[in-house]
A and B are shown apart, each in its own frame.
Chain A
Amino acid sequence: MEGGQEITIAALSSTFLVGLSRAMILFVVTAGLSFVLGVLRVPNVAHGSLYMIGAFAAYSISTFFGGGSIGFWLALVFAPLVVALVSLIAERSLFCHLYQREHLMLLLFTFALMLILGDLTKIVWGAEYRSVMAPAFLQGSISVFGSPFPRYNLFLLVIGPLVAIGLWLFSTKTKMGKIARAAAVDMEMVGAIGINVSWVFAFAFVLGCLLAGLGGALVSPTISVTIGMDHNIIIEAFLIVTIGGLGNMWGALVGSLIFGITQAFGVLLLPQFAIVFPYLAVVIVLTLKPTGMLKSVW
């Protein structure tokens, strides 16, 4: 227990909230991964790199507009669009020619994309640490049961559910969302009724990557933005979609909550081995329920 905080109601509740807000970022990222996984049936290894690019783009945009609160809000809007553009280029120029091939080749392509994007990010932004300022009214903390809780995390707790509701509305109420859901279940049938499958794939891929970029932009004020943040998030994101059920958006939410909260409590209980806790949770879930908590679309 050395180095751990004293365990009080205040510490527990603020830990819970920190975990919850971490889970919200994880959810935004993994919802995108899960969407791609559901429609294209490909684990997009480059997803973490796109998240990183999102964070770097948020830095550049907010600095360009003077680093104030206008800069932040513009970054939140435009950074995901930059990422979406990058993914659209990669998809239309190379990825779309591989859809007829074996699945392993698709997976390897995304891995190659990860390697390339990782180095391109280094070329464009360099290896220094960057930081993004949150707008003034989101800085500082409020008091929860007597212990401080950052306001920005509160903002994340609002954004997360908004994204979830938005995605749910999109996939159940709009035509494009319905096509994407149908494609996840039976791709051949979607093609048979005259829908251009290649463009459905492109759309799903770009939307998934846009969410990765949004996650990156959202996380940027809370951490120092640097090379290598792609490696950590992608493993976490994969594990989350696996325990949630591949391709299931609500599964991504459940998985993110499990992951974020166990991580936060790990920090409280045993700081040195905090990163072990979420992995352990994954092992337990997969041992009990090998195909994830919720129904997988596969």
Chain B
Amino acid sequence: MFSEMIRKKAFGISLAIFVILLLAPSFLSRFYIYFLAVIFVTALLAMSLNLCVGHGMLFQFHHGVFYGVGAYSSGLLLAKTALPWWMAFSAGPLAAALAGLLIGIFCIRLNRLYFGMLQISLGSLIWAIAFRWYDLTGGDDGIHGIPIPDFIASTTSSYYFVLIVLGICVALMYLILKSPFGSTLQAIRDNPERCAAVGIHVRRHQLKAIVIATFFGGIAGVLFVVVEGSIFPDLLFWVLSLEIFIMCLLGGWFTFAGPMLGAAIIVSLRTFVGTYTEYWTLILGVILILLIFFLPEGIMGYNYRRLLRSRSKYTSESPVE
């Protein structure tokens, strides 16, 4: 009952935030609009990873690869072919989902850590190809100045585009998680043996979750191209993958919106701390250690629990675990 109230409240809050963000370009400077757009892209990426990690308990260690595949396939089609923009844009998520399916088929047979390791290995294979294939991908320089369609070429219009796509994707992810499929996925996370015993095809379900998550990761990749107009192999490197993993944990990986918060915090820190010091990863490391020791459920997880606890003081209802 109270969690229902929280949900209504959360819906109201997120609607309010969405409206404020829609109005933001009228009172923010260009830099901040760009900065918010970067946060949105990263937020979508972290949300897509959390479909696997938080809701499916799959150790998707190399999610950055699918982001990169999405960015590379749409970016290359925009830069090297005369295909209409919508085809290039839809190629991104589809290629990412295909990569997710192929890598998933290999990885899904393995458990936990082996799953993550094989994924890192297969992902590094894709990274190595992007890194080395100079003729196609520009190697370690990447490709810059990708032609973006006119209607989203300016900072403000790309901001709106990214914001609206993020809104749609988040709504879709919410619906997916609330659907029978999403409930089953979370049931598998909590007790895979019992799920298998009642006749759920555990592996197939997890594979579907991976494909969905990589599809959204690919969309985030396309949005990256829209915002930055460039692609480079760091998008596929495993350090980025671990960074998004941290975003999920920081925001709260058992909550729905947590990863967005985590992404916003990490991107803000990187942007603002990065202007004062080049030792940004040192600070990221210290944050992570503080997080591990003091806030293992992430910020949203902590607040959600505290909210439930404070409510349960006034009623006899025990907090939902």
Task: Tell me the B residues contacting A by CB distance below 8 Å.
Answer: 106, 109-110, 113-114, 117-118, 120-122, 124-125, 128-129, 131-134, 237-239, 242, 246, 249, 278-279, 281-282, 284-286, 288-289, 292-293, 296
Contact stretch, chosen from A105-113, A131-139, A182-190: A105-113
| CA–CA, A114 and B239, complex, Å | 11
Contact B285 A275 (CB under 8 A): no
- Count chain A CB atoms within 10 A of each CB in B121, B125, B131, B132 and give the residue with the most: B121
A193 CB-CB contact with B under 8 Å: no
Q: Which residue of A lies closest to B286 (CB)?
A: A116
Q: Taking the complex as formed, is A118 at the interface, i.e. its CB lies under 8 A from any CB of chain B?
A: yes
How far apart are A144's CB and chain B's nearest CB, in angstroms?
29
17 contacts across the A-B interface (CB closer than 8 A): A108-B288, A111-B288, A112-B288, A112-B292, A115-B284, A118-B281, A119-B279, A119-B281, A242-B114, A242-B117, A275-B128, A276-B128, A280-B125, A290-B109, A290-B110, A290-B114, A291-B114
Inter-chain contact B246/A108, CB cutoff 8 Å: yes
B293 touches A97 (CB 8 A): yes
- Which chain B residues border A112 with CB–CB below 8 Å? 284-286, 288-289, 292
Given A235-B120, A235-B238, A283-B106, are A115 and B282 neighbors across the interface (CB < 8 Å)?
yes
Q: Are A108 and B249 within 8 A (Cβ)?
A: yes
Partner among B128, B132, B278, B289 whose Cβ is within 8 Å of the Cβ of A109:
B289
Tell me, yes or no, whether A269 is within 8 Å of chain B by CB: no
**Chain A residues closer than 8 Å to B288, beta-carbon distance:** 108-109, 111-112, 115
- Contacts A112-B289, A119-B285, A291-B114: A235 and B296 contacting too (C-beta < 8 A)? no
Q: Is the pair A279, B242 in contact by a Cβ cutoff of 8 Å?
A: no
* Docked pose: A197 CA to B259 CA in angstroms: 36
In this assembly, does A151 line the interface, its C-beta being within 8 Å of a C-beta of chain B? no
The answer, yes or no, to whether A57 is at the interface (CB within 8 Å) is no
- Name, among B134, B249, B282, the residue most crowded by chain A CB atoms within 10 Å (CB to CB): B282
State in angstroms the CA–CA spacing of A238 and B118 once bound together.
10
Report the bound CA distance from A114 to B281 in whole Å.
9
Instruction: Categorize the interface residue count of chain A.
Output: 35 or more
Residues of A within 8 A of B129 (CB): 273, 276
For the complex, give the distance between the alpha carbons of A242 and B173 in Å. Answer: 33
Q: Which one of B114, B238, B284 has the greatest number of beta carbons of chain A within 10 Å?
A: B114
CA of A77 to CA of B307 in the docked complex: distance in angstroms?
56
Residues of chain B within 8 A (CB-CB) of A43 are: 113, 117
The residue in chain B whose Cβ has the minimal distance to the Cβ of A290 is B110
Tell me whether A115 and B281 are in contact in the complex, defined as CB-CB below 8 angstroms, given that A276-B129, A279-B128, A286-B121 are known contacts.
yes
- Inter-chain contacts of B249 with A (CB < 8 A): 108
Identify the interface centre among A108, A122, A246: most chain B CB within 10 Å of its CB: A108
Tell me the bound Cα distance from A101 to B134 in angstroms: 45
A279 engages B114 (CB within 8 Å): no
Given A238-B120, A276-B128, CB of A101 within 8 Å of CB of B109: no
> If the complex has contacts A123-B279, A290-B109, are A279 and B292 also in contact, measured as CB distance less than 8 A?
no
14 other contacts beyond A112-B288, A272-B133, A283-B122, with CB at 8 A cut-off?
A: A45-B242, A94-B293, A115-B282, A119-B282, A122-B278, A239-B121, A242-B114, A246-B114, A272-B134, A273-B128, A279-B124, A279-B125, A283-B106, A290-B109
Tell whether A282 is near chain B: CB-to-CB under 8 Å: yes
Whether A287 is near chain B, meaning CB under 8 Å from some CB there, is: yes
A98 contacts the other chain (CB 8 A) = yes
Closest Cβ of chain B: how far from A3's Cβ, in Å?
12
Tell me, in angstroms, the Cα distance from A115 to B270 when the chains sit together.
14
B132 near A287: Cβ-Cβ < 8 Å: no
- Residue with the highest number of chain A CB atoms closer than 10 Å, among B114, B117, B132, B284: B117
